[in-house]
Amino acid sequence: MAIEPHPYQAEGGECLIEARRDGKTRALVVMAPGLGKTVLAALDAKNWLEKYGGRLLYLCHQTDILVQAKTTFEFVLGRSYTYGYFHGGEKHHRPVT
């Protein structure tokens, strides 16, 4: 099941693609809490991985956000990728190939 982004998420994704096309290697997405920044990150990662392949590192400052992000990335990217996380209380990981 594919996820359909909200119009503002789609616009944000297009801005990220355009920034990369313009040679930028960094971007900052600013959205209010609950509007789907994690979903946007997962959709952007999916586009990147489908185009270029490789690996992805997702960093955040709170464990609950990390666990939520893992679930979101698994939903958006599917089971063909491996996922894991490290934080102070738990080491959940698998070999990355």
pTM here? Answer: 0.84
First to last CA, the chain: 25
Whole-angstrom distance, CA of residue 94 vs CA of residue 97: 9
Q: With bands split at pLDDT 50, 70 and 90, how would you rate the model's confidence at 96?
A: low
pLDDT level of residue 17 (50, 70, 90 thresholds): very high
Spans of all domains in the chain:
7-92
pLDDT tens figures, 20-59: 999 999 999 999 999 999 999 999 999 999 999 999 999 8
Judge whether residue 1 has pLDDT over 80. no
Rounded to 10 degrees, the C-alpha dihedral 46/31/24/18 comes to: 70
Residues paired with residue 91 on neighbouring β-strands, in sequence order = 86
